[in-house]
Amino acid sequence: MEALRKLIHQIAEEESLISATLSQRRKTGEILYTKVQIKPVEIKKTLNYQFAFHYSNKVLHENLSPSEAEERLTGLFETTFRQGLICTPEADYQILISKKFKVSILTKSPTKQAGSLSHNRKKQYILEEGTPVPFLVELGIMNEDGKVYAKRYDKFKQINRFLEMVQDIIPFLPQDRPLTIVDFGCGKSYLTFALYHYLSVEQRRTLNVVGLDLKADVIEHCSLLAKKLEYKNLRFLVGDIAEYDELSQVDMVVTLHACDTATDAALEKAVRWDASVILSVPCCQHELFAQVEAPVMEPLLSHGILKERFSALATDAIRAKLLDIMGYKTQLLEFIDMEHTPKNILIRAVKAPSEHRDRLWAEYQAFRDFLQASPYLERACADLLPPSKGVEV
């Protein structure tokens, strides 16, 4: 811990902090906030540090003086969080703390530049407007001067939101070897290109990325663009998710808007690959709509639009719980604002064996049986789950 204390003190003395993110809370007492983000702000012409404490349904902010912030940040690492990313103009510092409090500090090339400290400053994006990014230019999101086209700003924000989520899971990926990533149902591949650019160009990781989709014309277009951008380790293939068997090991699986049970097929692949990270935005969850039956819920289920929405939420709840049972820690996050699309829930799962598998399995079976459902993912992964005592559907 001493090396970490010295690093925090040095950054505080130099006033060089751009941002910090603390995650993976220790299981001590009642879990309150699950993540803390820190940034410098200027209040009444005085440097302060704003701490944003992320709870399940809210974010609370606290502004601290530099000395208070140093003490608070150190304390959070010592008592509460096991991982962190501290960004300065000179370097990024990735903090990893083992269960036995062994601290590893990985120093990497800087990914951020210091900006204005105004409390109400313009939102800072991972890919900043004003700086030309080749793949964004080629995809028609910004011009050659780095200005984002007004009609594509929603897509620009979506890409940055996705990369914020990728930034959070970097500590969970293998650090000592090249990464293998598969994007199932990649479509036009805006986020596939963004993922490759961020990890390969900005984070300087060695990658092997595969984008898979059923549409041959889309895959041909993406392949030509990858070649033009000289993304040498990014390949696009025509194929079906359930039938893809080219790889034996994958570190990260991305599936965005794979329709209905295609999402489940991708999740099964990820689990069987023992992937370290899964990012999934489901789409068109029809399976449970035809199955769910619970007389006590008739006031809700008798209305088609309510039944459709409930079935979609129940489907994602089932997916998350099954992933928890099969050795992951899952979070359901808002991907983009509801005003842009109702399909805005992202399942983020990281490898973290459960300490309460039996309890989770009992909770899952009770929920499944209450709905009288027979989910695809459970059937596909039956050999990876405890024996079921549920009703037959």
Structure token digits, residue 313: 């939420």
288 belongs to a structural domain: yes
Q: What is the pLDDT of residue 297?
A: 92
277 belongs to a structural domain: yes
389 belongs to a structural domain: no
**Given 3-state DSSP classes, what are the helix, strand and coil percentages for the chain, each rounded to the nearest 5?**
40, 25, 35
Strand partners, 235: 210
Q: Is the pLDDT of residue 118 over 80?
A: no
Q: What is the pLDDT of residue 116?
A: 57
Alpha-carbon distances, residue 110 vs 37, 80, 179, 309 (angstroms): 18, 26, 20, 43
Burial of 251 (0-12, 13-18, 19+ CB in 10 A): buried
393 belongs to a structural domain: no
- Which tens digit of pLDDT belongs to each residue from 123-145? 567 888 888 999 999 999 999 98
Shared domain for 199 and 53, answered yes or no, is no
Instruction: Pick from 222-236, 253-267, 283-297 the range whose average pLDDT is largest.
Output: 222-236
d(CA 271, CA 273): 5
Domain end point (choices 108, 126, 159): 108
Shared domain for 332 and 270, answered yes or no, is yes
Shared domain for 309 and 247, answered yes or no, is yes
DSSP 8-class letter at 129: T
Shared domain for 214 and 304, answered yes or no, is yes
The answer to whether the CB of 329 falls within 8 A of the CB of 352 is: yes
Q: Is the pLDDT of residue 42 over 60?
A: yes
Shared domain for 77 and 145, answered yes or no, is no
DSSP 8-class letter at 142: B
d(CA 393, CA 391): 6
The answer to whether the CB of 91 falls within 8 A of the CB of 109 is: yes
Q: What is the pLDDT of residue 337?
A: 44
392 belongs to a structural domain: no
Shared domain for 100 and 179, answered yes or no, is no
Strand partners, 93: 86, 107
Sign of the alpha-carbon dihedral angle for 9, 12, 17, 19: positive
Strand partners, 328: 351
127 belongs to a structural domain: no
Q: Is the pLDDT of residue 339 over 50?
A: no
Q: What is the pLDDT of residue 336?
A: 63
* 125 closest CA partner among 24, 181, 226, 202: 202
pTM above 0.75, yes or no: no
Shared domain for 298 and 157, answered yes or no, is yes
Q: What is the pLDDT of residue 119?
A: 46
The answer to whether the CB of 330 falls within 8 A of the CB of 324 is: yes
- Which tens digit of pLDDT belongs to each residue from 70-81? 999 999 999 889
d(CA 74, CA 68): 10
Owning domain of residue 83: 2-108
Tally of CB atoms within 10 A around 362: 13
The answer to whether the CB of 229 falls within 8 A of the CB of 135 is: yes
125 belongs to a structural domain: no
Tally of CB atoms within 10 A around 343: 17
DSSP 8-class letter at 377: H
Shared domain for 143 and 93, answered yes or no, is no
124 belongs to a structural domain: no
Q: What is the pLDDT of residue 124?
A: 67
**CATH code of residue 275:** 3.40.50.150
- Which tens digit of pLDDT belongs to each residue from 21-39? 999 888 766 668 889 999 9
Structure token digits, residue 282: 């489901």
- Which tens digit of pLDDT belongs to each residue from 343-359? 578 999 999 877 789 99
Shared domain for 31 and 152, answered yes or no, is no
Shared domain for 104 and 141, answered yes or no, is no
Shared domain for 356 and 262, answered yes or no, is yes
- Which tens digit of pLDDT belongs to each residue from 153-206? 889 988 998 999 999 899 999 988 999 999 998 988 999 999 999 999 988 999
Task: Look at the chain and report how many structural domains it folds into.
Answer: 2
Mean pLDDT of the chain: 88
- Which tens digit of pLDDT belongs to each residue from 79-112? 889 999 999 988 999 999 988 889 999 999 888 8
pLDDT class of 115 with cuts at 50, 70, 90: low
Shared domain for 243 and 346, answered yes or no, is yes
Q: Is the pLDDT of residue 121 over 50?
A: no
